[in-house]
Amino acid sequence: MPEALHPSLVYLLGAALVPLLQGRARQAAALLVPALGLLAYYAIPVGAVWTARLLEFDLVVLRADPFAMLVLHIFAVVSLLGTVYVLGRNDPLELAGGLLYAGSAIGAVLAGDFVTLFLFWEMLTLGAVLCLLARRRPAAGRAAMRYLLVHLLGGVVLLAGIAVHLGSGGGLAFDRMPLQGAAAWLVFLGFGFNAAWPVLGAWLPDTYPEASAGGLVFMATFTTKTAVYALARVFPGEPALVVIGCAMVLLPLVHAALESDLRRVLAYCLVNQVGFMVAGVGLGTGLALNGVAAHIYCHVLYNALLLMALGAVLDRVGSVRAGDLAGTGRAMPLTALFYLFGAASISTPFFCGFVSKSMLAAAAAKGHHGAVSLVLLFGAFAVFLLAGLRVACLAFFSGEGGSSKAAGTSDAPLGQLLAMGATAFLCLFVGVLPGAFLLPMLPDQTALYDAYTLGHVSDQFAGLAAAALVYWLALRRGWLPAPVQGRLPGIDWLYRRGGPLFLRLADRSLNPLNAAVSRLVVGGLVPALSRFLEAGGPRLACLFMGPLWRILGHEAPRRAAERDALFRRAKSGTFPIGLTALLAVVLLGLLTAFYYVGGK
Amino acid sequence: MAATESDPSRPQTPPPPGDRLLRGLALATGGLVAFDLVLILAGYDKHPHFPWERLPGFYAVFAALSAAVLLAGARLLRRPLAALSARDQAEAEGGEAEH
């Protein structure tokens, strides 16, 4: 039985209430909701299970095991920080979207059955759409529509998997499932849409940069992490996930190295980091799943910080494109400092990302997955260069320019600085003291890993220094590829180009076929059949009666008149009773004759 | 404030770093590789799981190679990706003009 309020309900009620309020009342309510949500987290004892009945289903609406509680904690923390970040704008759409999003993600994470999971899973999409619409420009509206379509498709695939699973007697439990049979594959793919797998995940770099500054903090926190959590629940140790995860680590890197929209660079890097988590789920050991949980926690923190800083630049300067941001570092020094904290948190020792990534790397190494270890190592250094050095340099250290858009701007507003400062502190705190609360929250306390050994720390520093050296040398020599100003084609290019191509092919093949069939059937066959059905019978009757009239000695004019009369009557189906009787007698006679002939 | 198109005449890459930064990084990398060698010679057990982890300075060399491969790959793919991007953009602008 519930002894406290379901945390998800706190956010969902808040999301419904906040847009109805005005001014400071709205801000106060919006701030109160995530604060209460965080309190609700502390009110739930680890191990609690709450059930409810919906129609004929016994639902587990809350399953507070350690893994769920860890994800719930970071979601609650970041929804509070994100709300502080967006509070200054006081945009009802952004505030409500963020709260709805947080409530849905928390509901999905706490779900213990597939029905509850699916309900909250679909609500996530609505939260994301509100965060996109909060940007209030046509491109964001179009991105919201694309996001909605892709995620509805993903939701349908997931629902189909759940339905087949239920139909085959698989039960409702949101728990481990072998990747065998249609149900498991559909659920697997349904999760894959939200986890932004290769081919299924083009929506992420497409839509994220269109969100509002604060909206993107929520978007980058909830959807992919909820999907990784779901994968870890249902498909831990599935080898296919190792391959998918490694592909996610590698594939977005070139785009991140060439993209000019810096929030899109971070979107590509987000895919790379989710790849670490997906690969960890695929490894499936206790240490790997601890690494996944820890990396969900740490990545949510430092990714939120990076996006908050770039969001502050977007709000102040009006652009986050390479080439528009000269002088931003000087105009927004605190924001630049917080960005550097986020960049350091990606994989530098004494920051949070180092702790979690080390667990995943150790899990791959202990399992003797040499290729996976090298891919993860490559991905870690690459993302440090791209999200760390490249974006930091382009956003904050692009020198000075007389016509810079940053000229005359000031640092981020107080609310944004507070949110960034608190997030930066958490990144550092978790990195320096992982044993304070991150490690005790991990799901498998028998598989912990100490990242702070002398050899590991010195190796990591050596790697980061060497990577930075090559990057600076390339910059010095002019070897860095210049950013591409337009939208870089990704895997979506195949269907963006393939779609119109398919339409053209269909137009040129199916439409002529349709026209030919139309000419043959509609223009020829059907009218002929119609004519036959209309006049065929009367003509046959005339054909039959003609010789009879001739035998009876009727003259030609009379025969013609009789033929016309018969044709009219046969066509309208009105015969004199005598003639009908005669025909009936003839028919009976014929039948009798056939009967005897056939009998002999 | 709405985002606007960037001005191509503006610098697209950050200004090159000074010699001091490069020298500092080179020194740090060299020092850490030397420290790794000392650790190995002193018999410090890093619990390696793969043979390559026993090589002194492996992480520095691998990171430098990773950075080089990434940047070279990006340079190599820049031209075709930029061409596709430009074609997409031209078509999109053409489509908008038609509407």
- Please judge whether B14 and A399 are an interchain contact, meaning their C-beta atoms are less than 8 angstroms apart: yes
Q: pLDDT tens for residues A39-67?
A: 999 999 999 999 998 888 889 999 999 99
Instruction: Compute the residue count for chain A.
Output: 600
The three-class DSSP label of residue A54 is strand
* Contact residues, A window 116-135, toward B, CB-based 8 Å cutoff: none
- Please judge whether A398 and B15 are an interchain contact, meaning their C-beta atoms are less than 8 angstroms apart: yes
Selected for mutation to probe chain B from A135, A142, A381 (highest B CB count within 10 Å) is A381
Q: DSSP for A399-449, please give it.
A: ---TT-TTTT--PPPHHHHHHHHHHHHHHHHHHH-TTTTHHHHSS-TTS--
- Please judge whether A385 and B67 are an interchain contact, meaning their C-beta atoms are less than 8 angstroms apart: yes
Higher pLDDT, B4 or A513: A513
pLDDT at A164 over 90: yes
Residues of A in contact with B40 (CB under 8 A): none
Between A96-100, A529-533, A577-581, B61-65, the lowest mean confidence (pLDDT) is in A577-581
- Please judge whether B88 and A454 are an interchain contact, meaning their C-beta atoms are less than 8 angstroms apart: no
The pLDDT of A10-29, averaged and rounded, is 95
Q: pLDDT tens for residues A279-290?
A: 999 999 999 999
Q: pLDDT tens for residues A102-143?
A: 999 999 999 999 999 999 999 999 999 999 999 999 999 999
Beta bridge partners of A113: A173
Work out how many CB contacts closer than 8 A connect A with B: 207
Higher pLDDT, B77 or A400: B77
Where do runs of H (alpha helix) occur along A235-285?
A: 239-250, 253-258, 262-283
pLDDT at A149 over 80: yes
Residues of B in contact with A463 (CB under 8 A): 59-60, 62-63
The pLDDT of B26-35, averaged and rounded, is 94
Check if A481 contacts B (Cβ < 8 Å). yes
Which residue of B lies nearest to A363 if distances are taken between CA atoms?
A: B49
Picking from A470, A483, A486, the nearest residue to B67 by CB comes out as A470
- Please judge whether A378 and B14 are an interchain contact, meaning their C-beta atoms are less than 8 angstroms apart: no
Burial of B16 (0-12, 13-18, 19+ CB in 10 A): middle
Which residue in this structure is represented by tokens 């000229």? A407
pTM: 0.84
Confidence at residue A156, expressed as pLDDT on a 0 to 100 scale: 96
Which residue in this structure is represented by tokens 């590509």? A268
Could you tell me the pLDDT band of residue B2, with boundaries at 50, 70 and 90? Answer: very low
| d(C-alpha A162, C-alpha A174), whole Å | 10
- Please judge whether B78 and A466 are an interchain contact, meaning their C-beta atoms are less than 8 angstroms apart: no
The whole-angstrom distance between B99's CA and the closest CA on chain A is: 15
Between A174-178, A436-440, A587-591, B67-71, the lowest mean confidence (pLDDT) is in A587-591
Which residue in A175, A178, A181 sits closest to A160, CA to CA? A181
The pLDDT of A16-24, averaged and rounded, is 94
pLDDT at A399 over 70: no
Picking from B5, B35, B85, the nearest residue to A484 by CB comes out as B85
Q: pLDDT tens for residues A227-280?
A: 999 999 999 999 999 999 999 999 999 999 999 999 999 999 999 999 999 999
pLDDT at A299 over 90: yes
| d(C-alpha B12, C-alpha A322), whole Å | 6
Residues of B in contact with A464 (CB under 8 A): 63
pLDDT at A372 over 70: yes
The whole-angstrom distance between A414's CA and the closest CA on chain B is: 18
The pLDDT of A179-194, averaged and rounded, is 96
**DSSP element (H, E) containing A51:** strand A49-54
The pLDDT of B21-36, averaged and rounded, is 93
The pLDDT of A280-302, averaged and rounded, is 97
pLDDT at B13 over 70: no
Distances from the Cα of A398 to the Cα of A213, A324, A373, angstroms: 21, 9, 35
Check if A324 contacts B (Cβ < 8 Å). yes
Q: What is the 3-state secondary structure (H, E, C) of A160-221?
A: HHHHHHHHCCCCCECCCCCCCHHHHHHHHHHHHHHCCCCCCCCHHHHHHHHCCHHHHHHHHH
Which residue of B lies nearest to A476 if distances are taken between CA atoms?
A: B16
| d(C-alpha A295, C-alpha A320), whole Å | 27
- Please judge whether A326 and B10 are an interchain contact, meaning their C-beta atoms are less than 8 angstroms apart: yes
Question: Does residue A311 contact residue A208 with C-beta atoms inside 8 Å?
Answer: no
Question: Widest CA span of chain B, in angstroms?
Answer: 73
Q: pLDDT tens for residues A307-345?
A: 999 999 999 999 999 888 888 988 999 999 999 999 999
Which residue in A328, A204, A264, A308 sits closest to A486, CA to CA? A264
ipTM score for this prediction: 0.84
pLDDT at A291 over 70: yes
The pLDDT of A378-393, averaged and rounded, is 95
Could you tell me the pLDDT band of residue A597, with boundaries at 50, 70 and 90? Answer: confident
Across chain A, mean pLDDT equals 92
Between A186-190, A220-224, A366-370, A579-583, the lowest mean confidence (pLDDT) is in A579-583
